[in-house]
Structure 1
Amino acid sequence: MGFAFWLDPTFRLVAVGSALIGAVGGVLGTFALLRRQSLLGDAMSHAALPGIVLAFLLAGSRDLPLLLAGASLSAWLGALLVVLITHRSRIRPDAALGLVLSVFFGFGIVLLTVAQRQPTAAQAGLERFLFGQAAMMLRRDVEGIALATVLILVVVLLLWKEFKVLAFDPAFAAAIGLPVMALDVLLTTLIVLAIALGLHAVGVVLMSAVLVAPAAAARQWTHRLERMVILAGGFGALSGVLGTLLSSWIGRLPTGPMIALCASGIALFSLLFAPHRGLIWTAKSPGGKRDAGPSG
């Protein structure tokens, strides 16, 4: 079945693009998960919607790079507001995330309604960014995703030690003289870029699943950060390919939600059956103890 679909150039294009989005989402989602910032990806993906619509309203066209630039700027602004609210007020981080998510997403829906009332027909299809439409990927889109993926992975490799210390012990990172704030902003910017890459395929509503689910699944299989990052990237890529395959095989099912379901399915399987940490494993083991979390 899979080989027959792989002969279709359109399927190959969508599968490769989805796999790249899943891989980079899994890698960056690992750091967000370890820093207990999983909901930050959800907030930023929802915060991207008003940027997409504003970019269209200002430019009057649906040029994808322009829309994604607007999404990135809006998502980054949402992340900045979360940080400012958390540090400048008594509002808890989870409340700040919920506030930014709801306000930005609500504003985006209002702008989307305004855009759909424009007299030109060019605005048709903006609502596809809510749940994504991977089947509409073009070759130049996949090439851009591949280039951005390579850039993100190179940055992660170059700053691997710094990101590792930041993920496990920010106080120690500051004590040894690392620029914690700059590293935090850089890591957040990389996550924003990953979200922007996935909006066209998975959409603002489901992009958080691509960030969180592969990392959560990988955490169950290892206690080493290096292995966790590799596994999360692999699970994310697998989710992209499986989601594309199931969408094409069953027919008339949107690819983005199928990718999110596959990622969630892998996470559920890992939570249940992973050796030493899975719920089934711990239920059968003496004392029902689980291994500790990842280490450096």
Structure 2
Amino acid sequence: MEDFVYFFTFQDPSIAWVVLGITLLGVGSAYVGTFSFLDKKALLGDAISHAVLPGICLGFMVAGEKNPVYIVSGAFLSGAVATFMSSWLKRNTKLSEDTIIATILSVFFGFGIVLLTALQKSGNPEIAGLNSFIFGNAIGISEADLMLYGGLSLVIILVLTILLKEFRLMVFDPEYGKAIGFPMKSISFLFNVLMILAVVIGIQAIGVVLMAALLITPGAAARFWTDRLNPLLILAALFSVLSGILGTYVSFVLPQMPTGPWVVVFLSLFALISFLISPKSGIIFRYFARRKYLRKTHRDHLMKALYKAKENGKSGLTIAEIYQLYPYQKAATNHSISGLSKNNFIATNQSLISLTESGISEGMRIVRLHRLWELYLNESMNIAPDHVHDSAEKLEHLITPELEALLEKRLNYPALDPHQETIPRENHDLR
């Protein structure tokens, strides 16, 4: 608890710098990652994050020490070469994009490991801590490093904010952007530069192995919650920042723990929660929504069956007859009967179930929609009368009063469906 208070009250100025740096890094990475996720460039981000390792090692060799300017420059050049090779191979070979990216990732990362191993055996005392670039160590970053990485993150955030409209066109409709005069190739090139830069500035905090997760996971998790770009960017940034701070806190409390894996653990937790409980897209929400829909359709079908029985001159249907209509659905049928009775749509007299006044009106509406859809499918879609029933069964539950009026007008206010059954109207009295 003392560690928690000490960390989150920023009693040590270095902690405040680390939190500020990881916040800027999280926002910048989330912004770039969200656009790359929407533009289907997730694999490219993974390749770049692995491809910067040789540049890190070469930057260290040139400087002879862990100079952040040399390391960032080397990493950026290495990532740029990997991106250029990926684009060149895609244009000039028949290799698939995933094959190209996998090859570049493996070759560059393997070369980087060879250089890192050679540096470790060189005896240079400055090599200590270079391994942190593999899995990241935010707590071990110096104030000078944070100034550089934080400044570059701020540049990314500002560029993406100022050119939001241009990057939106790049992702959603580049052809339209080109048609109205935007230089889409230059915008795409600038975005690739920003993506490389986002990877480079995160490598010491998160590590080359897991930096792709910081790029892609926040946007993917936020996508479960919204379909709009601005809220998507904000949510992705929030998930990224929270994960970065929590992962850094674990590294602070347990110094032997690298930052990167814990950041990914918290990101994965946010993604899992989003996958499970987000409105409309969450698997739990969809489960209950589907369950509710199936119960509604079963009640509608039961109402329709009772209305058709009344059309045929019967006062209702017995429980046994209803069970025969829906074999193997006894529990669902009992639930529908209970719900309709509670809403005063049906009345039960011993074993006979019949429609009430309000039930007749509701049953008529469902039958009317079903027969309108059957006629529409037959006349407008040229589907044979004996093939329209199943489709109409699904469509009858998905209609608004406005669409119903439009459908009826389109069919010229018909009286009969394709089976020559009457399409009931409001004044259609079966009492």
TM-score (norm 2): 0.64
2:116 alignment partner, one of 112, 115, 118: 112
Equivalent residue in structure 2 for 1:188, among 192, 197, 205: 192
Q: Distance in 1 between matches of 2:145 and 2:60?
A: 18
- Counterparts of residues 252-263 of structure 1 (less than 5 Å): 252-263=256-267
Q: CA deviation at 1:48?
A: 0.1
Describe the SS at the equivalent of 2:7.
helix
Stretch of structure 1 that moved more, 41-50 or 255-264: 255-264
Secondary structure in 1 matching 2:178:
helix
- More off after superposition, 240-249 vs 150-159: 240-249
| Structure 2 residues without counterparts, runs of 5 or longer | 294-431
Using the TM superposition, give the Cα deviation of residue 3 of structure 1 relative to its aligned residue in structure 2, in angstroms: 3.2
Of structures 1 and 2, the larger Rg is shown by 2
Residue matched to 2:43: 39
Task: State whether residues 210 and 261 of structure 2, in contact with CA within 8 Å, keep that contact through their aligned partners in structure 1.
Answer: yes
2:256 is the counterpart of 1:243: no
- 5 Å-filtered alignment, 1:264-279, equals 264-279=268-283
Please give the alpha-carbon distance, in whole angstroms, between the structure 1 residues aligned to 2:290 and 2:137: 47
- Tell me which of 190, 209, 220 is aligned to 2:224: 220
Alignment partner, residue 208 of structure 1: 212
Residues in 2 aligned to 1:248 and 1:112: alpha-carbon distance in whole angstroms: 26
* Cα deviation digits, residues 78-120 of structure 1 (max 9, x gap): 1111111111111111111101100100111111122222243
Q: Is the 8 A contact 1:24 1:236 kept in 2?
A: no
Equivalent residue in structure 1 for 2:24, among 20, 32, 39: 20
Larger RCO of the pair (alpha carbons < 8 Å, separation 6+)? 1
Give the equivalent residue in structure 2 for 1:294.
none
Whole-Å separation in 2 of the counterparts to 1:119 and 1:138: 23
- Residue 86 of structure 2 corresponds to residue 82 of structure 1: yes
1:94–1:288 distance in 2 versus 1, CA, 3 Å: farther
Q: For the structure 1 residues 142 and 119, does the alpha-carbon distance in structure 2 shift closer, same or farther, using more than 3 Å as the test?
A: closer
Alignment of 1:70-149 (within 5 A): 70-149=74-153
Q: CA deviation at 1:195?
A: 0.9
> Percent identical across equivalent pairs?
39
Residue 285 of structure 1 aligns to a residue in which SS? helix
Q: CA deviation at 1:226?
A: 0.8
Contact in 2 for aligned 1:19/1:239 (Cα 8 Å): no
1:152 alignment partner in structure 2: 156
> Which residue type is aligned with residue 17 of structure 2?
L
Q: What amino acid maps onto 2:120 in structure 1?
A: Q
- Name the CA distance, whole Å, in 2 between partners of 1:148 and 1:55: 18
1:51 to 55, 60, 68: 55
Relative to structure 1, is the Cα distance of residues 216 and 72 closer, same or farther in structure 2, using a 3 angstrom cutoff? same
Pair 1:4–1:155, CA change in 2 (3 A): same
The separation in 1 between residues aligned to 2:255 and 2:287, in whole angstroms, is: 39
More moved, 52-61 vs 104-113: 52-61
Contact 2:136 2:206 (C-alpha < 8 Å) held by counterparts: yes
Which residue in 2 is equivalent to 1:5? 7
Matching residue's letter, 1:285: A
- Is the Cα contact below 8 Å between 2:49 and 2:211 reproduced in 1? yes
What CA distance in whole angstroms lies between the structure 1 residues aligned with 2:14 and 2:185?
A: 42
Task: Return the offset for 1:256.
Answer: 2.1
Which residue identity is paired with 1:279? Answer: I
Q: Distance in 2 between matches of 1:134 and 1:29?
A: 20
What corresponds to 2:360 in structure 1?
Answer: none
Asked whether the 8 Å contact 1:26–1:215 carries over to 2, the reply is yes
| Structure 2 CA distance for aligned equivalents of residues 103 and 146 of structure 1 | 30
CA contact (8 A) 2:135 2:259 kept: no
**Structure 1 residues without counterparts, runs of 5 or longer:** 290-296
TM-superposed CA distance for 1:22, in Å, is 1.4
- CA distance in 1 between counterparts of 2:12 and 2:217 reads 29
CA contact (8 A) 1:206 1:256 kept: yes
Aligned residues: CA RMSD:
1.8
What amino acid does structure 2 have at the position aligned with 1:131? F
- Cα deviation for residue 121 of structure 1 reads 2.1
Instruction: Point out the more displaced range, 187-196 or 239-248.
Output: 239-248
Which one-letter code corresponds to 1:95 in the other structure?
Answer: T
Quick one: distance in 2 between partners of 1:58 and 1:212?
A: 32
Q: 1:184 to 1:288 in 2, by over 3 A?
A: farther
Q: Distance in 1 between matches of 2:100 and 2:175?
A: 22
Residue 292 of structure 1: aligned partner: none
Displacement of 1:288 after TM fit? 9.8
**Partners in 2 of 1:55 and 1:35 — Cα distance?**
31
Which is worse superposed, 195-204 or 14-23?
Answer: 14-23
Instruction: Specify the alignment match of 1:65 in structure 2.
Output: 69
* Post-superposition offset of 1:75: 0.7
Q: Could you tell me how far 1:250 is from its partner in structure 2?
A: 5.1
